[in-house]
Structure 1
């Protein structure tokens, strides 16, 4: 689902080896003490699938998971890239190593779909976004096979370019369904007959490419916001607001998490090809700055909104994917209400803490769990708090031992020593920990290092970190309960990423942090 330069593919292992600083304070084995990964086997024969109507290929099911919906404690539905939806029963029985395909039964619910890239349960139906439409699938005769395929929404432009993916849907807090549309890259030949004529700035794109779309309760599909490159992940936070992730490339400095709302523009300038269409929510863009530092670009480009969170490239992943809200209320550890973001290249999951400052979202990203068998593309949480993780490295290479699969991530019940939250303050940051800290180490400013940087906004591929600066931590004040540390920091800068390394922190028992790094995107300093 993700495409990048061939050079990056060739150098993948070198890049990962050279960029391990985000993970250096914890190994996959350490993480396994707290969050265990369990593989769900895929059947290789008709008898193993328990589906009498299935005639598999010689290689069994290619479980390139592109969508997941948890239907009950024991049943999960998965969409796969080749255009099918499967029902998996007894998945809750897979709790440890050594499980076989016979532990889970597979039943094909739907087929003949065109590259479904999401899955959502609504009432008694399943909804997916195919390349050209949002589709509702229903079983009306009780045989657990879809016999009605209903077009719920359509109308966006498709030129035939391979990169014109369509993702979703996900529901917001009001029940609206959201989807995102990939930009087309380097259109040519017959594809050019499908582009918007006389588009602004001469951009060559089909209608609404690079936009986020919303389907309301009345069935109206409308464009909401723009500037997306490869927005393969979307999801709502605890307040019901919708976010999407984007991936580094032209116009996109590094991976990012963005708050979707009407009239917002984010990164990719070619999405402005649709700006003059009647339903556009973005108007009046006269200049697109190119090759300037991001804070300067925001000043010169008033329609452009900064990401809520930047994921520094290589340090915090290389291809952000799905967004999942942790809403188990304690079934998945001490991170309730936070967002988890899939990572394609590094076969991992990162964690995000968000807060609102002056009415806008910003926050910090943290490492969480690596070591999955392939690229993490989709995630869905079960009622018991465990998380089903859909894998496929189709389109680009990733770490891991398999090209695709389905795994389950389970909390062991042990609480890791982590920075649970990182909050901005007028003179620095407040760190909240999952366990009480050792007062001596936490109160020593030498236990911390902090720096800040930003990026270039430019049409070329990605951006290095620019305008970097080491910051001075003047004071570290520990709360009486040992769960909070207030860092007073000299030199805070708005629209800069502030990188923290809490290398010297220990808990009350003398243990170091499982993950010592955090990256806070400081768009606004509280006043």
Structure 2
């Protein structure tokens, strides 16, 4: 017997079925990794909007059009659909954009609610759908997506909600519905209490926790966003998008209403002038580090995915790839660097998860925008070959520059040469206009390079560092001890604070 407590209508739009390629190929510009598309059973349109690894190693996949599928053996040969085993687990959902396994059940966010889904009779098909929390406005506007959930260290669910982008839809005979908490991150306590937490979001379509249990989301370039950010979500933060501010006047809001927002100044100036304004932990320079970041996941594989433990991997929609983010805390706040990681996927990356063997799963769907690639949807598996990739592993802020650590031993001659490095810094405008260019660009002089013991790290002494600015590092000349070039020779560090200043 199926108990259906609360849900929405399924999406009606469908995409044409595409046959997925069946041969693993070397990752573009990343020879230490291979990418293998999953071959799907006939008729299965796996627009993978959320991925959740179950305790027994199975994989749950939410589908944008309202289903959840179980992959019985996701670590089997992806080109053999029978060996992987696909089973429909749940249906009738309203655009689930995220998936989480917690305490014996699957949780997903539909357009209007956080839903708990269980199989109570053990037949392999969900028969209980429970509304855990509601309370945010839904008017029928196409842009009112909801994402998540994820769990913080205290056991609270976090959800991110799109701004509406336009007026509400009014049905005949009905008044306009209040659309509270659009453009907010909200939390849900274990007993189901909904609490608004952070404001100023536009389209925060990726949400995850890092290794310390702090919550992060990506957002999308557009009005009030000159480029894409990675945001550290926390109570009381305002990230800049104005559409969320009417709800800052409600008594339950933890965000202070900043009043009339200035425009045409830089985001650095806005962080000093606008009450409660919080800068992103990381800016993704437009095109250089993608055009539309999506789902993200922290690497907690213990080294099974290469030398990037506890770093964040971020899906890229338009360019159909995956980027990598190193984070650190300076002055108690997160900042860090983004690096390109994987290009050339078959479709837009939408959701990410790690399997038990350490391979990275990428759920894909290009519904909504165009993206690079030859397919409309699918699932791909990125596996580390065991070969050490030659990359910039991390970039850490220092009082007078940066420490740059490589994944392998370097050639002392090329790595110690000042001419092997180039750096500039820039920021972005804060305005209501859609998008924006890099502004106030200046060169950063690297006056000295010091190779540290172990031959994997260098200290770059820099002149002209600026707080709040992106510092773009290009390393065309460095070679490994074995003579290899860097797979990706660029890094983009958001220097919100200079250590010790």
Paired residues for 1:344-383 under 5 Å: 344-383=317-356
Q: Indicate if the aligned counterparts of 1:250 and 1:460 stay in contact, CA closer than 8 A.
A: yes
Aligned partner of 2:73 in structure 1 is 90
**What's the offset of the Cα at 1:109?**
0.8
Which of 497, 505, 524 is the equivalent residue of 2:470? 497
Q: Indicate if the aligned counterparts of 2:405 and 2:457 stay in contact, CA closer than 8 A.
A: yes
Q: Are positions 1:139 and 2:137 aligned together?
A: no
Find the aligned partners of 2:472 and 2:433 in 1 and give their Cα distance: 25
Residue range with higher mean Cα deviation, 86-95 or 317-326: 86-95
Paired residues for 1:91-490 under 5 Å: 91-94=74-77, 99-187=79-167, 190=170, 193-194=175-176, 196=178, 206-490=179-463
Find the aligned partners of 2:29 and 2:400 in 1 and give their Cα distance: 34
**What's the offset of the Cα at 1:309?**
0.1
Residue range with higher mean Cα deviation, 216-225 or 332-341: 216-225
Find the aligned partners of 1:283 and 1:479 in 2 and give their Cα distance: 46
Equivalent pairs, count: 473
Q: Indicate if the aligned counterparts of 2:291 and 2:317 stay in contact, CA closer than 8 A.
A: yes
**What's the offset of the Cα at 1:292?**
1.1
1:290-311 alpha-carbon deviations (Å, 9 max, x no partner): 1211111111102110000000
**What's the offset of the Cα at 1:175?**
2.0
Find the aligned partners of 1:446 and 1:322 in 2 and give their Cα distance: 37
Structure 1 residues 93 and 117, CA, compared in 2 at 3 Å: closer, same or farther? same
Report the 3-state secondary structure (helix = DSSP H, G, I; strand = E; otherwise coil) of the residue aligned with 2:54.
strand
**TM-score normalised to structure 2 length:** 0.92
Q: Indicate if the aligned counterparts of 2:148 and 2:159 stay in contact, CA closer than 8 A.
A: yes
Decide which structure has greater helix share.
1
Q: Which stretches in structure 2 are left out of the alignment for 5+ residues?
A: 1-25
Aligned partner of 1:68 in structure 2 is 51
Report the 3-state secondary structure (helix = DSSP H, G, I; strand = E; otherwise coil) of the residue aligned with 2:437.
coil
Q: Indicate if the aligned counterparts of 2:139 and 2:168 stay in contact, CA closer than 8 A.
A: no
Aligned partner of 2:8 in structure 1 is none
Find the aligned partners of 1:404 and 1:352 in 2 and give their Cα distance: 25
Q: Indicate if the aligned counterparts of 2:66 and 2:93 stay in contact, CA closer than 8 A.
A: yes
Find the aligned partners of 1:148 and 1:453 in 2 and give their Cα distance: 52
1:264-298 alpha-carbon deviations (Å, 9 max, x no partner): 00021111121111210112412301121111111
**What's the offset of the Cα at 1:69?**
0.7
Report the 3-state secondary structure (helix = DSSP H, G, I; strand = E; otherwise coil) of the residue aligned with 1:92.
coil
Find the aligned partners of 1:293 and 1:422 in 2 and give their Cα distance: 24
Aligned partner of 1:34 in structure 2 is 32
Find the aligned partners of 2:441 and 2:482 in 1 and give their Cα distance: 35
Q: Indicate if the aligned counterparts of 1:387 and 1:409 stay in contact, CA closer than 8 A.
A: yes
The alignment yields a C-alpha RMSD, in angstroms, of 1.4
Find the aligned partners of 1:183 and 1:164 in 2 and give their Cα distance: 6
Q: Indicate if the aligned counterparts of 1:73 and 1:92 stay in contact, CA closer than 8 A.
A: no
**What's the offset of the Cα at 1:101?**
2.2
Find the aligned partners of 1:188 and 1:309 in 2 and give their Cα distance: 32
Aligned partner of 1:522 in structure 2 is 495
Find the aligned partners of 2:210 and 2:306 in 1 and give their Cα distance: 18
Q: Indicate if the aligned counterparts of 1:376 and 1:391 stay in contact, CA closer than 8 A.
A: yes
Q: Indicate if the aligned counterparts of 2:327 and 2:337 stay in contact, CA closer than 8 A.
A: yes
**TM-score normalised to structure 1 length:** 0.88
Find the aligned partners of 2:56 and 2:437 in 1 and give their Cα distance: 45
Structure 1 residues 310 and 195, CA, compared in 2 at 3 Å: closer, same or farther? farther
Find the aligned partners of 2:335 and 2:365 in 1 and give their Cα distance: 30
Find the aligned partners of 1:486 and 1:244 in 2 and give their Cα distance: 31
Q: Indicate if the aligned counterparts of 1:134 and 1:153 stay in contact, CA closer than 8 A.
A: yes
1:117-141 alpha-carbon deviations (Å, 9 max, x no partner): 0111112211100000000011111
**What's the offset of the Cα at 1:491?**
0.2
Residue range with higher mean Cα deviation, 210-219 or 140-149: 210-219
Find the aligned partners of 2:143 and 2:354 in 1 and give their Cα distance: 29
Find the aligned partners of 1:77 and 1:145 in 2 and give their Cα distance: 12
Q: Which stretches in structure 1 are left out of the alignment for 5+ residues?
A: 1-26, 45-59, 197-205
Find the aligned partners of 1:73 and 1:256 in 2 and give their Cα distance: 35
**What's the offset of the Cα at 1:190?**
1.3
Find the aligned partners of 1:467 and 1:195 in 2 and give their Cα distance: 43
1:337-376 alpha-carbon deviations (Å, 9 max, x no partner): 1111110001100000001001100000001111211000
Residue range with higher mean Cα deviation, 34-43 or 69-78: 69-78
Structure 1 residues 330 and 413, CA, compared in 2 at 3 Å: closer, same or farther? same
Find the aligned partners of 1:440 and 1:225 in 2 and give their Cα distance: 48
